[in-house]
Structure 1
Amino acid sequence: MTTVATAHPAAMLRESFIELPARERARSLLDAGSFRELLGPFDKIESPWLPLQGVVCQADDGCVIARGTIDGEPAVVAAIESAFQGGSIGEVSGSKIAAALEMALRDCERGKIVRPVVLFETGGVRLQEANLGLAVIAEIQASIVALRRHVPVVGVIAGMVGCFGGMSLAAALCSYLVVTKQGRLGMNGPEVIEQEAGIEELDASDRRRVWQLIGGEQRAATALADQLVDDDADAVRAAVRSAFTQGLPAAHRSEQVDVFLNRLARIDPASVTPETMHDAYNPHAQNNARKEQA
């Protein structure tokens, strides 16, 4: 007699956040019925540069900007569509994100607090629009820093593309960063590292090691992300709402330079493993090391 395994009822009720397209990811974070898209596909604000290089452009340039509410409070969500050009940031998509954050900043400065969320799913700058993309990523970063003086800026890295390049710096500037195990965060992607430093440095095809080093679970364990959640739309929504409930952090990651430099000093570059990274970022391990030195 053959036994057929059945899924756990709770697992069957989950809605994968990763499998949702950008527009539905944004919708899932906002209060029901409050989703309103700005500069959507019907506005046809497309990249003027991609067709010149034989690339079919997308009507929203792979970026969805939505206004609505989160727990009844005004909110804006910028969601990057990884299915278009790997979520790369070009002039139009980047300008949409920067403008959305700047609009939220103006509201906050007038006393109307708007909750900003950025859904990162990007390899970084779009190579076909390199200089323009880099310039607009700098604008995004500046907007996050200015906005987080008034309200937490929440970032989400769910998967499967991850967050790399200049946008990884933007993610690091967020007040709170929510990740799943499937998400990845790094300045350079594994393929770039292998290409530039050789397979001895990192085998990009070794998926287990890649996720051990830069996956969401590792980033949360090493304090480069704040909350690790399952790939579940309800869990991601709850984590985002919880972040806003916490209010502004005592100090943002980018303001804790000495803390992170001290942690880096504990790591031997010649022998970087998930375990050595955990030890360097684990408060208990650091306390034990101080006791041994004493």
Structure 2
Amino acid sequence: MSALPATTALLRESFIELSARERAAALLDKGSFRELLGPFDRIESPWLPLQGIVCQADDGAVIARGTIDGEQAVVCAIESAFQGGSIGEVSGSKIAAALELALADCERGKIVRPVVLFETGGVRLQEANLGLAVIAEIQSAIVALRAHVPVVGVIAGMVGCFGGMSLAAALCSYLVMTKQARLGMNGPEVIEQEAGIEELDSSDRRRVWQLIGGEQRARTGFADALVDDAVDDVHAAVQAAFAQGVPAAHRSERYEATLAKLAQIDPASVTPEAMREVFAASPLNVPGENA
């Protein structure tokens, strides 16, 4: 698809530049946004002050109920501006509980559409064990929910999605990404630190995005829709995902095919081109403007 005219692109509202609260509101039907356990409830991390870190009143997680296309929905949005979107005991519990409540509704026949807005480096190191435990709860809730209703994940940028939360994103029924987004188990800085700069130079932004950026993830089937950084495009991709319904087989259930493809990749020479050649586009692709 040809690039948008410059004037049109400038007039489009960026999704990446919105805060987590604004992103959640942008995906819900106008006027339906209702926040649960918001800043005025002041449910903060009890562990950060012990380490001299100033808390945030919502612990970096926004939980909103409302509607999408008139259907009940819950949006869990992670705020990257607080501790890099890291998941601690409180923020993770808010997300897990919201998904578990949606599951309870679905089991009673009241369908609630779940959306998770990932913007996280993974577990909060200051709350490591507690964060890991609650990430496991989030993953479990996603797996249980997706039997009733599609679970839609969105990775917009610029932090991306890493660590245990990258596994949560992979468990979603559908995953929407922008070109600016990144998705990986380990972040570039961690890879460089642990394996050396010969393995990956984290300052080589072009290389990083070629390997784990939104376009590469969409072209290799690890994301279902690639969209421009525009509120309207992200909103439309989320709507399209729910319109697809529950997929016949989720990505995580097709592990045998994935392992077979991984066996064709030489770990000593992983290139973006080789990954694109081996990993065909996902059959679960959701229509996106640039997909």
**Greater shift in the superposed pair: 258-267 or 90-99:** 258-267
Matched residues in 2 for 1:9 and 1:122: separation?
32
Letter in 2 for 1:128: Q
Q: Give the Cα–Cα distance (whole angstroms) in 1 for the partners of residues 259 and 10 of structure 2.
A: 44
**CA distance in structure 1 between the partners assigned to 2:280 and 2:53 by the alignment:** 46
In the other structure, the counterpart of 2:253 is: 255
Find the counterpart in structure 2 of residue 286 from structure 1: none
Equivalent residue, structure 2, for 1:108 = 106
The number of residues matched between the two structures is 277
Q: Deviations over 1:25-44 (max 9, x none)?
A: 00000000000000000000
The offset of 1:270, in angstroms, is 1.1
Q: Which amino acid aligns with 2:121?
A: G
User: What is the rounded CA distance, in whole Å, between the counterparts of 2:28 and 2:11 in structure 1?
Assistant: 20
**Distance in structure 2 (CA, Å) of the matches to 1:195 and 1:70:** 42
**CA distance in structure 1 between the partners assigned to 2:213 and 2:261 by the alignment:** 19
Give TM-score, length-normalised by structure 1. Answer: 0.93
- 1:177-192 to 2 correspondence within 5 Å? 177-192=175-190
Find the counterpart in structure 1 of residue 285 from structure 2.
none
Distance 1:165 1:263 in 2: 22
Instruction: Report the TM-score, using the length of structure 2 for normalisation.
Output: 0.94
- 3-state SS, counterpart of residue 115 of structure 2: strand
Extract unaligned runs of 5+ from structure 2.
282-291
Aligned residue for 1:64, secondary structure, equals: strand
- Correspondence list, 1:222-233, <5 A: 222-233=220-231
Secondary structure at the counterpart of residue 97 of structure 2? helix
Q: Which residue of 2 aligns with 1:202?
A: 200
Write out aligned runs for 1:142-157 (5 A).
142-157=140-155
Moved over 6 A (4+): none
**1:92-117 deviation line (CA, Å, top 9, x unaligned):** 00000000000000000000000000
Which secondary structure does the structure 1 equivalent of 2:177 belong to?
strand
Aligned to 1:96: 94
> Could you say which residue in structure 1 is the equivalent of 2:214?
216
CA distance in 1, matches of 2:8, 2:111: 36
**Alpha-carbon offset, residue 10 of structure 1:** 1.5
Which of the residues 155, 158, 169 maps onto 2:156? 158
For 1:57, the equivalent position in structure 2 comes to 55
Q: Measure, in 2, the Cα distance between the counterparts of 1:152 and 1:22.
A: 21
Q: Distance in 1 between matches of 2:280 and 2:145?
A: 30
Q: Give the Cα separation in 2 of the matches to 1:38 and 1:167.
A: 22
- Of 275, 278, 281, the residue aligned with 1:277 is 275
Could you tell me which residue of structure 1 aligns to residue 138 of structure 2?
140
Deviation at 1:8, TM superposition (A): 2.6
Structure number with bigger Rg: 1
Q: Which residue matches 1:73?
A: 71
Task: Output the amino acid matched with 1:59.
Answer: A
Paired residue secondary structure (2:98): helix
Aligned with 2:54: secondary structure? coil
**How many Å separate the matches in 2 of 1:175 and 1:266?**
26
Q: Distance in 1 between matches of 2:255 and 2:54?
A: 42
Read off the aligned partner of 1:262 and give its amino acid letter: A
Name which of 41, 44, 47 aligns with 1:43.
Answer: 41
Offset at residue 13 of structure 1 (A): 2.1
After superposition, what is the alpha-carbon deviation per residue over 1:223-277, rounded to whole angstroms, capped at 9, x for unaligned?
Answer: 0000000000000000000000000111000000111011101111111111010
- Rounded to whole Å, the distance in 2 between the matches of 1:123 and 1:8 is 32
- Give 1:172's aligned residue: 170
Q: Which structure 1 residue ranges, 5 or more long, are not aligned?
A: 1-6, 284-294
Instruction: Give, in whole Å, the separation in 1 of the partners of 2:144 and 2:29.
Output: 26
